[in-house]
Every structure is written in C-alpha cells, then in structure tokens.
Structure 1
Amino acid sequence: MHKLKSILLIIFVILIFQGNVEPSLAEEDKGEGEYMMVAYDKAEWHYEGDFPEGLYEDQGFVHTGMYLGWVIENRLYSKEFKQVSSNEITKFNQGLLSGTELYMNWDGVLASDMLSKEGNDFTKDYYESGIYFEDYADLFPGVSSVYEVNDTLDNYNIVKNKVNERFKQWKSE
C-alpha cells in the first residue's frame, strides 16, 4: 500500500509539473497565479544534511511528523489529502498511527497540496518561517539535538499544545 501511494504521488507530481493535471483543490483555493506546489519540508533534507551520527534516519521524520499530526487533528488538510489518506487519518485519530508514521507514508514530504488554504497560510507563517523549529527546539532543552526527540504521545502533546497556542495567536492577528 505504501509503495502504491508513493508511486501515485510521484506520477501525480510529474503530471502537475508537465501541465497534464489541473491544480489540486487546495491550490485552486489560493487565487490566480499561485498554483505552484511548495515543499515545506522533506525528511531527507534533515537526515542527509547536518544529522547527528549514530541516530536512525527515522528521527529525521519526527519533528515534521508531529506537525502533520497537529494538522490532521485540526483538519487543516486538503480534500485531496483526505481522499488519499482517509484510512491513515482514521488510524491517527484512533491513536493507532502517529503523525510521524503518517509522514513516513508520504515519503517524508510536507507539501502545500496536502493542506487546506488555512493550513497553508498558517504553515507559511509559522512552519516555513522557522518559528516552528525554534519552538520545537525550545520545548526539548534536555536533548543535545532536536533529532533525538522520540516519537511518543507525551512529546506530541507537548508540541501540540505549543502549536495550538501559536495557531490561536495567529488567528487573532
């Protein structure tokens, strides 16, 4: 199932870039001239970059996976993402799958076509700006690297509470 989704996603992205597919529903909501898909984060940017020696590559997925979990919990995903990942979303909501595991199922890519318009607007202001990563690091001062934070429900709840606070603040601005 994971390989099939990966293959379908790759084909879809190729077709978009070749102009053979209409923009996603999330991208149509953006307005004229804003149809380019944006990759907000990729796990490989982390585990292939300045990544601590001795850690499993899976740790490069955790910080974004927790953010994706928050997106799902707040229903800030696109209709397209919901259609493709409905089973995983259900499992996440039942506590049977973490946001990190779901992010792994998407090959470690957090992209604009996965998010609703509001999800994209917030993600641009908070995640893409680097504020999320700063908050994430501040939440776990006891680790020598943010990549050492484990994918646990307790850690997710710490992150979720901070992102909820930032989201509430963002909505009031």
Structure 2
Amino acid sequence: MKYDDASWHSGGNFPKDLPASAGAIHTGMFVAWALQSGLAGELHTDEMPENLEKLAGRSLTPGEFFLWACDGKFTDEDLNEEGNAFTASYFDFSNGSYLADYEALLGHGLPRGSDRLYYVADTWENFEKLKPRLDQRLADWRTHR
C-alpha cells in the first residue's frame, strides 16, 4: 500500500517558486519520526540499516532522507505492523489528523493559500517542533486501540 508519493504533490496547484522536493517535506517529517520511533519495517532495520544511521546522524534533512532512502514513496514496507496500523489512522489524508497537526505546529508565518504547507522548511529544527506532538499522538493511539 502506498500512503504518499512526493510526485503526487508537484503538479497542479503546486507553487511554481518551489522545487519539486518541497512536495516531500511533510511526508519526510513523518517518515523520519516513524523510523526513529521504533516503527521501521524490515527494509530499514534488516536490509538497509544504513538508512537509520543516516537519520540518527542527521546527515540529511527529513525531506532529503525521504527522497534518498524511499525514492519519495511512503509505503507499508517502510513500517512494521504497529507502524502501519498507526499510520492508517493518523497519517491518512482523508480521515487522519497529521496534516492538521503539521499545519498547527509549522504553518505560522507561511503564505496564505491551500498550498501553504509546501513552504515549511525542511529542517531538523522543524522536525523537533513536530516530534513531541507525534510522540503524543502515538502514545494516545496505543492507549485507546
């Protein structure tokens, strides 16, 4: 199952003044958090452990990591069973609350419009702003599932 693909975001109403890689940042933040939170699938833990080492060393930003390690595609293979169950309820764009949390924490001062979240900077500083909310969402999900 594919949760997201950076290429889905670079067409249509995508801001002309941003590189296509800006379409990977929101998912890259989530994927980086999930992999560092014990939700990584075998692809990252067993087959390619250097992926987790790159994240731990922060040699790439979350968006860069997502494009490099996942080819801009977020699939169920990236996560373990628990990670997929959580992602299905929280990350899903149609009924999850990830984008609302992302916007609430990182959307201040961005241009107005439906494409505004593409302007979030791909930084570890922004990741650190988002991480506590994701940690709390996962803890709440674990308590209530």
- Give the TM-score taking structure 1 as reference length: 0.74
Residue 117 of structure 1 corresponds to 81
**Cα deviation 1:117-158 (Å, max 9, x = unaligned):** 000000000001331011111112221210001111110111
TM-superposed CA distance for 1:58, in Å, is 0.9
Gaps of 5+ in 1: 1-37
CA distance in 2, matches of 1:81, 1:90: 10
Residue 142 of structure 1 corresponds to 109
Runs of 4+ in structure 1 off by over 4 angstroms are none
TM-superposed CA distance for 1:93, in Å, is 0.7
Corresponding residue pairs, total: 136
Report sequence identity in percent.
31
Write the letter of the residue equivalent to 2:104: D
Gaps of 5+ in 2: none
Among 131, 137, 145, the alignment partner of 1:160 is: 131
Question: Cα distance 1:91–1:172, how it changes in 2: closer, same or farther (>3 A)?
Answer: same
Query: How well do the aligned residues superpose, as a CA RMSD in angstroms?
Result: 1.3
CA distance in 1, matches of 2:136, 2:86: 12
- Give the TM-score taking structure 2 as reference length: 0.87
Write out aligned runs for 1:1-173 (5 A).
Answer: 38-105=1-68, 106-128=70-92, 129-139=95-105, 140-144=107-111, 145-173=116-144
